[in-house]
Each structure stands twice: as structure tokens, then as C-alpha cells.
Chains A and B, each alone.
Chain A
Amino acid sequence: MSRYYYYLVLINMIANVIASVPAILLHFHDDGAVSAMIVSVVAGSTLVFFFTRFFTHFPGMTLPELLQKTTAKWFYNPFILVLAITWFIAGMITLITYTFLLIRYLTPEMPIIQISLTILLAVILGCLMKTDRVFYTIEIILLLTVPLIILIFIKAYTNENLRWEFVKEAALYFNQFPNLNAFSACFFLYLGSANLIIFNRFFKNKQNFGVKQITLIVAISIMTLFTTYFIPIGFNGVEGIEKLVYPWITTSDSLRMKFSLIERVLFIFLLFYLGIAFLSILIHWHVSIELLKYVFNFEKFKFKGFKFGVFLPIPFYIGVSLYFVRQLNEYQLFRLSGIFYNILIIFFPMMLILFFFIKRRMKNVKKAEQN
């Protein structure tokens, strides 16, 4: 598999370390979170496997293109629209989470609209770029941010204040029945490969996705899940962990870089994670806008020859995001993310059924083309 594919998977996993996923998991620390994590590794990797295998059969084809060939219009248009909205919400949740983080920890005096506008303005024009350029941007920003984030993780693991007894205590809750909410939060980490529904147009050559590749993804996901869940516990104990609003921020504030220019790891973490959040929003909204292009014919909106159609979704995206940034509070955001994740665990397995259907139809289409 091309290295760009792993970026998609990886970003979705690490971007959620800071979002609601650890908060949801830790909320159910004595109610089946550990077992949910174990189950989600199996379920998530299965989904990743079938999802990716499906798209490797159709190199360079996006999902809407496949649907156009195989399904009726009454199904196709609403379905793509639902997908576009789903991806928009995924990006918006990251945006709002990060806005809340910045206002809480970095610039408490700044108006919340201004903070979210910072992120919005930086991201929004990037969503209109060509798919390959989105990939190149991802690669470079990852190269800049990931080494430092990994360094922080290593510092956390080697810190003498990380008490493994807490970790063991929490891990011993594994024999409970998996919690559904915790499961759906973990499951969300695996949905990075779902971005292939648009990004597959970049992979024009036949890709190889087999046991080796899925093993790598499983290994990375286990490491991410373990870090996401157990490191905050090792630093903050088991009891009362559900009371932390941003477990990872509190954890990073428990680290100190004794001799560095910036002493509090919190700020390094916050600013470098901003890059990951940026990429996560960029990917989700790029997919969302590209999907919208299949539903609406933006090309026909012209003004003196200038095609402003492609810019049409932008005001909506900014407007809706700003509205929700103002309306939601932390608890509502937490609930919204939870509900969103819960819907996705039904939605994506359903899509696998759809894929099966498409694959069969595509065989017919190919035969028809050959004749």
C-alpha cells in the first residue's frame, strides 16, 4: 500500500487522542471500557480490511463514481449527501473541540468566534485543493509535527511519575461486558480508511493490501489505543479520572521539560497537536466538499465567466461551524460526539453490504463494457 494511505489511517487515530475519544473511554473506565477496546480492535481492523480491499479492486475510482455506475439516481443523490454531511460533522467536531481547548488553555481572553475563525480560515481554502495536493500537505505537516508528538509520548512513558500500578488497576477491569459508547468511540479511530471514498482517486495504480499491511495497522492502532487510554490513567489515577474534561491536556501538563525553552509540555503539545487537528479537518472537509460536487453541479454557477460555484459550500461550512461553536457547551459537544460515534458503528457496517452489492454490479458493468 502506498505510504499516503497510512497517513489517512494514522491521522484519524492520533487526531482523536485529543478529542472526545479518551474522555468517553475514561468515563466508562469501570464500566467496560477495556473490554470495548479489545473488541473494537477486532471489529475495527475487520472494517479497515474490507473497506480497503474493496477500493483496491477499483483503482482510481471514488465511491460516487462507482455508485453512479451501479445504483439508481433516487438512491445515489441522497446517499452521497448523507455521506457529505457525515464527513462535515466529523470535521466540525474536531474544530469545535480544538476551539474549546485553545480558549481554555492558550488564549482565554480571545473571543471564541475569532479562535474558531483562525482555524476555519486556515483550513477552508485548502479543502478546495486537488486531492494529490491535500496528500502532499499532509505529508509535510506530519513530518513537522509527528516527531515532536512522539517525543512527548516517549517522555510520558519514561517519566518516573507514571505509576504502572494505576495502569494495572485499570486494566483489571477487562472482564466486564463491553460498553457500547466506549466501543463506538474506539471504533471511530479506525474510520480513517473510510476517507478512501474520495481519496481513492489518488491511488490510480493497483494497490496491494494483504496480511502484512493489516498487521501494521493493527499494531499501530493497539499502540494508539493503549497510549490514549492508559497514559492518562498512569498519571492521574483511576478514581476520579472521569472528572477530567480533557484528560490528555491534564496529562501533558503533568510533564515538565526541565531544560527546554518552553518548560510546560502542555503548550508544545497544544501547538503541535494543532497541526494534527488541522490535517484532520482538512481531510474530512475535503472529502465532504468533493462529495458535494457529485451531488450539485457547481460548474453551472458562473458570473462573467468566473466559476464561483466551487466556493459556494464555503460560507455554509463557516456559518454552520460558527453557529455550533457558539451554541454548544462542553457537555453538549461530548454528548454530540458520543451520539455521532454511535451512529457510525451502524452506518459503516451497512456500507460494507452496499460495497458487496456494488462489486457484483460492477462485474456486470465491466462485462457490458467488454461486449
Chain B
Amino acid sequence: MLKKRNKIKQFFLLIILILTALSGCGEFKDIDKDVFVSMIGIDLSDDPEKPYKVTLKLYVPTSSFKQSPKPEYTYLTKNGKTLTEAIRILETHSDKEIDFGHSKLIVIGEELLNANKSKEIMDFLLRRPDIQMISWLAIGRPSAEEIIKMVPQSETAAYPALFNYFDHNGTDSPYIVTTYLFDFRRKMLETGIDPILPLIEINKEEEHFEVNKSYVLAHDKKPHELSSLDTLIFNMMTRNLDVADLVINEDNQHFIAKIDNINSKYKVKVDAQHQVKLNIDIELFGYISESKDTISNQQLPQYSKMVEAETREKFSDFFIKMLNVGYDPIGFGLAYKSKTLHNKRMSPNEWNEAYKNSKVNIKVMAGIKSTGSIQ
């Protein structure tokens, strides 16, 4: 009995020996020998041989955030034939190991976007296991490098100001589209929905970012820019927005309606001749937040009518634009697919044609409930 136990003990001792031997070959690297990437910027370079220009924004760790509340970053930039090559060269430029695990934002330069290289970029971003699938993707104007290298006044250490635009923790503006990497991937691959990316611009004089426009894109197609208003309409259609402002300018009445409750629904109907009908239902509730003229409480129904008319006009403008360029950021094609058996579906090409010729039916119901605190 006792002897058997001793043998077990010896066995354990042997294991401990193996463990200690193994600890020699284990990869043991301390956190302060790593440098964390905060953002990745990808641009089109001037050199046609090496088309990719990668810019990395790296956090510089400080011993105490209390002593140095100002953010500190270093930047690495390199051209490369491929993205991996550029990053491999960058790694030789840094004395520490570059860790992509903390990178939260990927900015793609506007020029690169137009150069139609999204497939290669996506492949690179998805293939690397250390790049988060929950990183945000955005377009940078004029270039990703400039976006990445700008540090606005309001920035605090360890959390770049740019992140606040996307994480719905700071500003929650109705003009910002948030696209995660996995969301971009699925929309890119799926026929019947097209990815949309926010556009980050720089306001040079005031040194801050502006994020209120966006881009819709697809394979083998020229990307289409959405204006602020279009971006707002896109968000009203897809996100559960809490607030939106609508400027009404009609029949000598000029006021701004603050919408605090938006319900939007859409239905895709296809008849036997492959004629697509897009039925869009919008319900808006809100109050008047600003007006040039005096506003009367009794006339609220009229104001609602005006809002309805104005909204219908703007929405139909948006959809006509989308149908003309053949982009489908909302996902009507997907809605169609989710309701039709796979063997009865139109082919992607058929659908694209049908979509371009579809009839848009917009129904708006607006309810202006108050004129605000004053009449």
C-alpha cells in the first residue's frame, strides 16, 4: 500500500521534472515588451510597385496616468507590396513586439477604397486571428494616415477620441454609422445587402473629427458616398434611433422637428413577373424644437402633415438614388431571400435588375405632439 503510493509520488516528481524542463522552452514574454496597436490605417501609396501603405498608431505606456494625462502615441508607416509585407517590415522598425490584439479601429483611405482593393484588405483582416472581429471599420478622408495621426485636444490617455464616435458610450449622434469587421464581412459576401462604412473627415481649423457621412460599397462597383442626410435616413431605417432632427421648410413655415420616437418597417413584395415592390412604413413622433415664426398649439395636425410630406419627399429621394446606383444598404435583397425558398429565388443578377426597377411605396405617419415649452 505504502509502496504503491511512493511510486505515485515518484511519478509526480517525474512530471515536475518535465515541467521544469519545459519551462525553458516556453515562450515567456512580459507585457512591457509588447507594444499595443491602437488603430490600423491602410492607404494607397504613390508607389505602384508597393501599393499599400500601412500606418499603425501605437500606445506609449506611461507609468502613471495621473502624472501624464496627455495621450502619447508613436506612429509607424511603411509601404508594401502586400499588407503582410508592410507589417513585417514595420515589425523590424519596432524594438518591441507589435500586438494587434487591442486594435479597435481600422481606417481605410478614401483613395484605396476607390482603387477597388477591398477583397485583399478584407482577406488580410479576417485571416489574422489576433485582429478583433469587433473592430470598427471606417473610411478616412483625405487619407487614413492623416486621420490616424491626428490627436484632438479633447483626447484622454488610453482611449482615443475617435473611439467615442463609434462605441455608443460617448456621443450617440444619428449621423454615425457603426460597422464592425464581422458585419462588413457578412454584408460584403452576401448578395442582397451591401456594406456601409462611416466616413471620417478632419476639420482642419478646429482640430476635430467630423463623422456624419458614409460610403456604400460592393465588389466591382464604384463606391457611392452618402451625404449626411442620406446617412441619417439610413440610420432611421436600420437602427433604433432615439433622436433625429428634421428641418421642415414648406409654405412659409420653417421649423425643426425633434423626433424622439421612430418606427420604420419595410416589406419586399415580388409578383410573378419579378416586379419588386418595396413597401416602407415610417412612424415619427416628436415635438418642435425650433421655429422662425410663432407656432400655434391648435395647428399641430397641420405641422404633422408638413412633417409627413417633407419626410416622404426625403425618403423617396434617398431610395430613388439607391435604386439608380443599384446599391442596397438596407438589405431588401436579404429580406426577399429570407422569405423565399432557396430553389424559388431569383439569381443575384436577376434580383439586381429587378431591384433597380422596383416600385417604392412610402407611407409616413407623423405625430407632432408638442410645440415645446413655448408656443
Contacts and interface: CB of A to CB of B under 8 A. Distances in A.
Contacts of B15: 121
Interface in B182-218: 182-183, 185-187, 189-191
Interface of A: 30, 104-105, 107-111, 114, 117, 121, 160-161, 163-169, 172-173, 175-176, 235-240, 250, 253-256, 258, 264, 304-308, 311
Nearest to A259: B169
Contacts of A305: 3-4
Contacts of B190: 166, 237-240
A305 B25 CA distance: 37
Contacts of B186: 163, 166, 235-237, 239-240
Contact of A107 (B3, B27, B338, B340): B27
A306 B186 CA distance: 61
B159 interface: no
Interface in B149-207: 167, 169, 180, 182-183, 185-187, 189-191
Interface in B18-68: 22, 25-27, 29
B349 interface: no
A357 B153 CA distance: 82
Contacts of A250: 133, 182
Nearest to A109: B27
A366 B185 CA distance: 64
Nearest to B23: A114
Q: Nearest 6 A-B pairs (CB), nearest first?
A: A237-B186, A168-B338, A109-B27, A240-B189, A253-B133, A165-B338
Interface residues of B, number: 37
B334 interface: yes
A105 B25 CA distance: 20
A168 B339 CA distance: 7
B337 A169 contact: yes
B343 interface: yes
25 contacts: A30-B342, A108-B130, A109-B29, A114-B26, A163-B331, A166-B334, A168-B338, A168-B339, A172-B340, A172-B342, A175-B343, A235-B182, A235-B186, A236-B182, A236-B186, A237-B185, A237-B186, A237-B189, A238-B190, A239-B190, A239-B191, A240-B185, A240-B190, A250-B133, A254-B133
From B339, B342, B343, residue with most partner A Cβ within 10 Å: B342
A253 B104 CA distance: 13
Contacts of A108: 129-130
Contact of A166 (B132, B338, B339): B338
B374 interface: no
A215 B96 CA distance: 57
A133 B342 CA distance: 50
Contacts of B337: 165, 169, 172
Contact of B180 (A30, A109, A237, A254): A254
Interface string B338-364: 111111000000000000000000000
